[in-house]
Structure 1
Amino acid sequence: MVQMCLVCLGVDNDVIQQNVLQLPNPEKINNHLPPPDEETADDGDQSSQGYSDKNVRLTPSKPQAPVGEEKDLGDLCKYFVDIGGLRLLYNLAKSSSHSQLNEVSLYMLVVLAESKVYCQQILSTAEFFGDICTILSDEESSVNLKRMCISMILVLVSNNKTGQNLARESKCIDTLLLLFSKISNVVLVSGSTNPEYQLWSSVCSALGACATNPQNEENQKLCSSAFPQAIEWLHDSLQHEIVRPICCMIGPIVANSRFAQDYFASIGGLEILADILSHLVNGLQERSLDFRLAMVVMETLDMCIIENSESIRHLENHSIISSLMSLLSCGNLEAEDKLSIVLTIGRLTEDCEANQYELLKSHGLSLMDQILEESQDDKLQKAARFVLQNCRHISKIAMMFVIWQWW
């Protein structure tokens, strides 16, 4: 089975013969297959969530099997593990002198770990993470091999606290942080076609995955050491290929972490993100707005201020409300995007009179009223009411001022 998979993936047959151990012959394999009527427990699919950028993930998309074949595929996968297939791939991934075979073996391990939770659990060992760290640290490892190792880390830490802890204890996170910081500016500006840029982008995704889903406070503190370099790059460039991966890394690291939020704010991170958002929004009249990038920046800002009034005060003098109102005024907004913007406005205006006043000047209260009248979305209506509730005091003051002027 392994030989066939390797051939299908393009590995040279001579390389396979030199490196792959002999598996049981087909007759013995067939004798051990479960009978057709025997029920076998299905280990559900292992999903990868959070801020991982799908464009930089190397993990392959899984083919959708017909419903009647799902059990057979699950049995086959379990049998492959039982006869030592997982161990064989593991040995090939770390010991072969052929880089191509290392890459393909890791690729197959990624597929198995992403498809079945029990494969992920089997591979979540200190030994395996240590081997991945060794490959990543080796200057002679190819870029593709390193990217495959990062893809392996992404799969092993997703929805897996044990994997996250092992990534830290094995120094994998330290190695990822080093790879993140040592990328050259020439590579960063070269764009997404450069393999080294793709490696860096994958590193951003892996750092974010190590920090959240589930939340891992120790990893969040460790990954926060990437903030100074990230802020320097954000300060120097508004390039899409730089801003998006960095934001996709920052978001999970600061999520629900007061330590990471405060550290990011203390070194000027909030101001940088606010300025980037303002620049994107101000380009509405000058050029086509990259709306998706603006939403990514806004959502990252939102993660930085949740339940953190001190961080909100950092943004009082950066016209953040005006930027969000411009976003909210874009035509043909999807309901999900509109809800995300209104919720962020709600968090910024809660217990912050400066932001409430800016919302009033930006005609935001009338827009919230319009949402209540026109929207059929219960969540969006609830978010608009939250904003209006935050601003009820300043609304009364504004009304009294209007009446006084009239008199």
Structure 2
Amino acid sequence: MESLSTLRSVNETTPVCSPKYAGIHEMKMELSLLLESLKFHMNCPDSQKTALSGLATILLHSDEAKEIFRKCGGLLFVRTLLTSVDSEQVKVAAIYTLVCAIEHSMLSKKQLCDMSMFRFLYSQLVSEESRKQLKIFSSFVILCLVTNNSEGQMLVRTSHCLDVLVNMFRSNDFKNSLLQPEDSHLLDEIKEEESSLKLWKGIASCLCGCVNNPQSVDNQMICASAFPAALSIIEKTCDQDIIRLILSFISLTVANNENNQERIGLIGGLNVLLQVFHNQVKLLEVHPSRDAMQMMKHIASTIVSCIEDNEDNKLLIADLHITHLLLHALSLDSVDTSTKSQLVNALVLCTESCEKSQKEFIEHNGVPSLVQLMANIQEEEFSKSATYLLHMCLDSQKSNSTWMTPETFNDKQAVEKTTKQPYENVMSPVNYFGFVF
């Protein structure tokens, strides 16, 4: 997701230097002076911008300043200024100041989190007169207000901000900047596309916050309408940042939500995700890199989110031969231990309670391959996951005479020699499998 440090470059008027103070009293004095400057220059946009830039710089670098600013009424004053001023430039500076004031500050966030604030943000998002810069920061204020805040998630929905964000996410207006930003040659077109891309990333990050931490089932259901657009983009773009954001959006929108899992399966989303994973494996074979491995882990986590506790999707992904592809990825020498652990966890989720995937695991030499990896990788977490996977597939094969082979028993003996813990004491890696973002 977009961070404040990333978005700070959008506001070119804000200094990036960190102010130094001898103590709290000096900081409080400067905050007070800057607020007074705002009050005495209500008809001078340039002076207001300067004062707001100074406030933003102090708030950005100090949690104590955020607390002082809230207690002295600065937060509410800047909010009032934001909702009443006509100057677009002052609005941008004011909303950026609010972002600096509420990020990582729950008390400041709660003070701003009400219906009137969300209605104002809604008006900025839908207004054709609002510049992209203002919409970018409006989306980031929403992200700050909904993160770790169920009340904010409810307000973003009831104020219809969420509907607007979803519609913007899937709008064709972003198509060129998302899919073909390199095709523009004119400076004005390049700047416009860069601005559109920043706005789309802000919207995507905002949607992730609206559905997750805490989980909001109601918001997840609304965001599901953006699945077709998300899949269309991820199918066509090569931009790793865009792919990463869409994977996060899909993961968080289907997580613990059976209806959305079914939707993603129904519209062919698993096929698209598997193709993206396949492309990433090919890229890793040609150009091994840490970024490529991180992306492969991210895709695997997204696929797991779509199939966990969903038998229908497990069957769909089995028909697409996910097990063979995961085994191939595991065999790559360029893949590090952390990534291999994530791939094994994904294999566990794909094969658990799925006879077809278990059979594919056996038929594509999954047992000897994993036994060899266990001999080479002496890590407890990897050993637990691999042991659970091996015993699950071998026990299933043993109980199914239609596809049992004599080699099964030799494979199982090799597993028992390689693993130190008995099968009965092995905890399912499902319990500690998590997202990687």
Is the TM-score greater than 0.5?
A: yes
Counterpart CA distance in 2 for 1:180 and 1:235 is: 16
Q: Which residue of 2 aligns with 1:185?
A: 175
* Per-residue Cα deviation, 1:153-196 (whole angstroms, up to 9, x for no partner): 11111111111111111111101011111134212124497110
Q: Which residue of 1 aligns with 2:431?
A: none
Q: Which residue of 2 aligns with 1:45?
A: none
* Structure 1: stretches of 5+ with no match in the other structure: 22-58, 66-72
Q: Which residue of 1 aligns with 2:84?
A: 95
Q: Per the alignment, do residues 16 and 61 of structure 1 end up closer, same or farther by CA in structure 2, a change over 3 Å counting?
A: closer
Q: Which residue of 1 aligns with 2:387?
A: 385
Task: Give aligned-pair identity as a percent.
Answer: 26
Give the counterpart of 2:329 among 327, 330, 348. Answer: 327
C-alpha deviation, 1:252, in angstroms: 0.5
Q: Which residue of 2 aligns with 1:400?
A: 405
C-alpha deviation, 1:297, in angstroms: 1.9
Asked if the contact 1:3/1:20 (under 8 Å) is kept, the reply is no
Q: Which residue of 1 aligns with 2:298?
A: 296
Asked if the contact 2:166/2:226 (under 8 Å) is kept, the reply is yes
Q: Per the alignment, do residues 2 and 91 of structure 1 end up closer, same or farther by CA in structure 2, a change over 3 Å counting?
A: farther
What are the within-5 Å matches in structure 2 for residues 83-232 of structure 1? Answer: 83-182=72-171, 183-191=173-181, 194-232=194-232
252-261 or 335-344: bigger deviation = 335-344
**With structure 2 as the length reference, what TM-score do the two structures score?**
0.73
C-alpha deviation, 1:278, in angstroms: 1.6
* Per-residue Cα deviation, 1:205-244 (whole angstroms, up to 9, x for no partner): 1111100111110011111010122223334445435422
Counterpart CA distance in 1 for 2:129 and 2:33 is: 27
- Three-state SS of the structure 2 residue aligned to 1:271 is helix
Considering fraction of residues, name the structure with more helix: 2
- Three-state SS of the structure 1 residue aligned to 2:215 is coil
Asked if the contact 2:85/2:91 (under 8 Å) is kept, the reply is yes
Q: Which residue of 1 aligns with 2:262?
A: 262
Q: Which residue of 2 aligns with 1:79?
A: 68
| Residue identity in the other structure for 1:221 | M
Asked if the contact 2:153/2:216 (under 8 Å) is kept, the reply is yes
**With structure 1 as the length reference, what TM-score do the two structures score?**
0.78
Asked if the contact 2:285/2:332 (under 8 Å) is kept, the reply is no
Structure 1 position 367 matched with structure 2 position 378: no
Asked if the contact 1:190/1:197 (under 8 Å) is kept, the reply is no
* Per-residue Cα deviation, 1:262-314 (whole angstroms, up to 9, x for no partner): 11111111111112212322345555573333322221111111111111101
Asked if the contact 1:150/1:206 (under 8 Å) is kept, the reply is yes
Asked if the contact 1:278/1:320 (under 8 Å) is kept, the reply is no
* Structure 2: stretches of 5+ with no match in the other structure: 1-30, 52-56, 183-192, 410-437
C-alpha deviation, 1:403, in angstroms: 8.8
108-117 or 130-139: bigger deviation = 108-117
Q: Which residue of 2 aligns with 1:15?
A: 45
Asked if the contact 2:179/2:236 (under 8 Å) is kept, the reply is no
Asked if the contact 2:318/2:356 (under 8 Å) is kept, the reply is yes
* Per-residue Cα deviation, 1:336-378 (whole angstroms, up to 9, x for no partner): 3222211110010111122112222332222332344343432
- Three-state SS of the structure 1 residue aligned to 2:318 is coil
| Residue identity in the other structure for 1:120 | K
| Residue identity in the other structure for 1:269 | G
Asked if the contact 1:368/1:387 (under 8 Å) is kept, the reply is no
Counterpart CA distance in 2 for 1:386 and 1:6 is: 65
Counterpart CA distance in 2 for 1:400 and 1:292 is: 37
C-alpha deviation, 1:331, in angstroms: 3.4
372-381 or 268-277: bigger deviation = 372-381
Counterpart CA distance in 2 for 1:89 and 1:121 is: 15
Q: Which residue of 2 aligns with 1:244?
A: 244
Runs of 4+ in 1 over 6 A off after TM superposition: 18-21
Q: Per the alignment, do residues 367 and 400 of structure 1 end up closer, same or farther by CA in structure 2, a change over 3 Å counting?
A: closer
Counterpart CA distance in 1 for 2:255 and 2:408 is: 44
CA RMSD of aligned residues (A): 3.2
Counterpart CA distance in 1 for 2:294 and 2:49 is: 46
C-alpha deviation, 1:19, in angstroms: 8.8
